[in-house]
Amino acid sequence: MKAIIFDMDGVIIDSEPLHCKLEREILKELGGKITEEEHNAFIGTTDYHMWSILKEKFNIKKPVDEIIQMKKERFIKNIHMLNLVDNVEEFIEKLHKKGYPMGLASSNNRKIVNLIVNKFKLDKYFNVIISGEDVSKGKPHPEIFLKTAEKMGVEPHNCLVIEDAKNGVIAAKAAGMKCIGFKNPNSGEQDLSQADLIISSYDELDLNTLKGLFN
């Protein structure tokens, strides 16, 4: 293990409930409605991917870029409501003290990623920060993880990814990386079965456990 890559939403910040609330409100305003199960299938993907599919499904007239902007503005207005996932900063601090390079690979847009990083003062931990706007293909495609590893100068097979969503786990494994599935109850019923290890709390992790995944 030479580097650790974190997803952001649902892994570092407990933001999925806010995302889902705003997306459902906007979809309702635009004349559409989806079940919780259908919504959960989009967790971990980019806004562009999700809204492109919903636009076609419900014959929405508003351009995708405008819908994404609506969501972005509402999310930013509510950013004060967000908190870090329990014990995640202590875990990141441990890795940082041991000198492990860390990357952030979020499907969220660059503006929100930067706002979250600044709000919680996370920039001191991450060597590389990649957003959904920095790639052409969203998760479950592995591009975001491969790009993060490349920017960090680490071979994919030496990277460990921490993800809370099925799409993210699939992307990490497709990138040839080890993956820990973080079972966040606020991220919906996610199938994390392809992960090398599934946890429900960062208290379950120590360096020996992480290194053991590479043996």
pLDDT in tens, 114-123: 999 999 999 9
pLDDT in tens, 20-77: 999 999 999 999 999 999 998 898 888 899 999 999 999 999 999 999 999 999 999 9
Q: For the domain 3-14+82-212, what is the CATH superfamily, name and number?
A: HAD superfamily/HAD-like (3.40.50.1000)
Centre a 10 Å sphere on the Cβ of residue 127 and count the other Cβ atoms it contains. 15
Average pLDDT (177-181) is: 98
DSSP codes of every residue in 46-96: -HHHHHHHHHHHTT--S-HHHHHHHHHHHHHHTGGG--BPTTHHHHHHHHH
Alpha carbon of residue 169 to chain centroid: 10
Q: CATH 1.10.150 occupies which residues in the chain?
A: 16-80
Strands across the sheet with 197-199, in order?
A: 128-130, 102-105, 3-6, 159-163, 178-182, 197-199
Q: CATH 3.40.50.1000 occupies which residues in the chain?
A: 3-14+82-212
Rounded CA separation 153/68 (Å) = 32
What is the CATH class of 16-80? mainly alpha
